[in-house]
Structure 1
């Protein structure tokens, strides 16, 4: 994946050493006067779900109101996301979105009357995470070169899992096939957890998955990591090469995730929530817990998020067209 928006993310990685000052007048004196709802358009138990719930718990403490989490998975996050697009823009609903739901889905899961690029406003990118090429311990592959050699000798014999059609795990695999001139069969699952379970059971040989989802399984010897799709090695898996080091040049696949709200939400509320969420992310204890799991904390402003989102949408449009992925 080309990363023309990477520089925008890196600019936010400092986590705003000085968080923007927002006066008490930045939002209504009574806001929030009731619980907030956080919609997670992914199944429970995944990497995004765990991170979002942790943020929601701490955010509730800061706001003095609970943040109620609802999982609404389906259609690569489109079902839950589209539901938020039709909710009131009253400032009480946060949507947890990702590169795939906000920048990829419009090209492969078109929904009449809904477009995340125009129906939502950015709040903050909470983190990013690299995808990792992992294989089951029962497979004979110990490095990327062995995998490529086998795949070229047996086109179409190997299959790879993903969390769903158009998910970044799927796109990473398709990029890998295009970059290496190999052919494999895609097996989409309803969420990454189900795919991992089948890998552990020996029913599927390989997949790309987010680092936080597989790092402990790799350390425990239950999965084998062949390469990290990032520009540098992960400190959590220091012995695992980058994809470029493994022989696939110019190959990265890093996913950003963050919060958005319904278009039309009071900008003062958007900025208040952005500031509060970034304060949660900046907390040293919270940050360390998450980074130890493989999350790269960002904490962007709404304006930084908007720039990253715009650049990513353009890039994903070009990528999905080149790969030829579309679900009607």
Structure 2
């Protein structure tokens, strides 16, 4: 609360006395025009929905429209590159996420960006757990059942994902390493065909996000066995975490956060962090996120920077250990 009050008092002082603003600080009337949030994926996905929820709220706060621009392709790297090359003036932001921010730069030679250097972190917005899934008719009732069977039959069980280098694959590879099991990866061109084979029993298990899987679970077609995060998800509070189910300390989070091009002035970075935090503190926004299966995060820009650094190391190690390569 102290940090937030300080930021709020600073903002009030800044706008009340623009003539006293520090030289080189952002324009006192920021934003004086529309702000664009680039989403590096197609419309309708989690990051797109979240950007529109936050954009609507901030548009009312700022009195200026917040536009969402979808630039999908190549694992989110096309939109990320576009944001990295934009002017560092606060009018172009990026809805970053696990894949394009910390995975793609380490896998794709065509990415040509490093999120630790080419972006200014603003705020971690929301977390999305990866849920271990099995068909409702599966013999596996717990996560430990999967581990026990995989140890008895090394390499004979298979799991699916939306493709090589996907968060779902890396979550399972980290799980395999921690559990000491060998489960064969079957990559698909998107998650939909993987779900088809999981439902048909051609796959035994997989990880995917709560928003993507919740419909199958509610309809009785799939069953959650465990959540990949350190805390249980509000969308499925009765489902234990992987850590609770037998692998202490396991924590893999699908996340979304706001980034700006590198070189953004610190005072504008703080202003944006403050305003996005206000949006995340709004009860209506928090309820919308929970409905989408997301958990609000928030926090300082420095905390988000450290988080990105840690994520780079965690997923980089998993990529090397599993020898994941993209052609």
TM over 0.5: yes
Query: 1:98: which partner in 2?
Result: 97
CA drift at 1:17: 6.0
Q: Which residue of 1 aligns with 2:46?
A: 47
- Per-residue CA deviation, residues 81-121 of structure 1 (Å, 9 max, x unaligned), is 12222223332211111233222333222446422211110
Q: Relative CO higher for 1 or 2, CA cutoff 8 Å, sep ≥ 6?
A: 1
CA, structure 1 residues 112+166, in 2 after alignment: closer, same or farther (shift >3 Å)?
closer
Query: 1:20 aligns to what?
Result: 7
Q: Deviation at 1:194?
A: 6.3
- 1:309 equivalent in structure 2: 308
Q: How many residues align?
A: 315
Structure with max Cα Rg: 2
Question: What does 1:63-78 correspond to in 2, within 5 Å?
Answer: 63-78=62-77
Give the aligned partner of residue 135 of structure 1.
134
**Structure 1 contact 15–298 (Cα < 8 Å) conserved:** no
Q: Deviations over 1:175-228 (max 9, x none)?
A: 122223333333344555665466457665432122333334323323200111
- Report matched runs for 1:201-240 at 5 Å: 204-240=203-239
Unaligned runs of 5+ in 2: 19-24
Within-5 A mapping of 1:44-193: 44-111=43-110, 113-189=112-188, 191-192=190-191
| CA distance 1:77–1:194, shift in 2 (3 Å) | farther
1:290 equivalenced with 2:289 (yes/no): yes
**Structure 2: how far apart are the matches of 1:66 and 1:17?**
24
Q: What RMSD in Å do the two structures reach over aligned CA positions?
A: 2.9
CA distance in 2, matches of 1:91, 1:19: 21
Alpha-carbon distance between aligned partners in 2 of 1:277 and 1:197, rounded to the nearest angstrom: 38
Distance of 1:15 and 1:45 partners within structure 2: 37
Unpaired runs of 5+ residues, structure 1, are 1-13
Larger CA deviation: 178-187 vs 225-234? 178-187
Give the 3 Å change call, closer, same or farther, for CA 193–19 of structure 1 in structure 2. farther
Structure 1 residue 170: deviation in Å? 1.5
Whether contact under 8 Å (2:233, 2:295) holds in the other structure is: no
CA contact (8 A) 1:169 1:208 kept: yes
Aligned-partner Cα distance in 2 for 1:194–1:69 = 29
CA distance 1:238–1:304, shift in 2 (3 Å): closer
Sort the Cα spacing of 1:197 and 1:288 in 2 relative to 1 into closer, same or farther, 3 A. Answer: farther
Specify the alignment match of 1:263 in structure 2. Answer: 262
Is the 1:103–1:312 contact (alpha carbons within 8 Å) kept by the matching residues of 2? yes
- Corresponding residue for residue 30 of structure 2: 31
Deviates more, 1:297-306 or 1:265-274: 265-274
Change (3 A) 1:197 1:283: farther
Partner SS, residue 7 of structure 2: coil
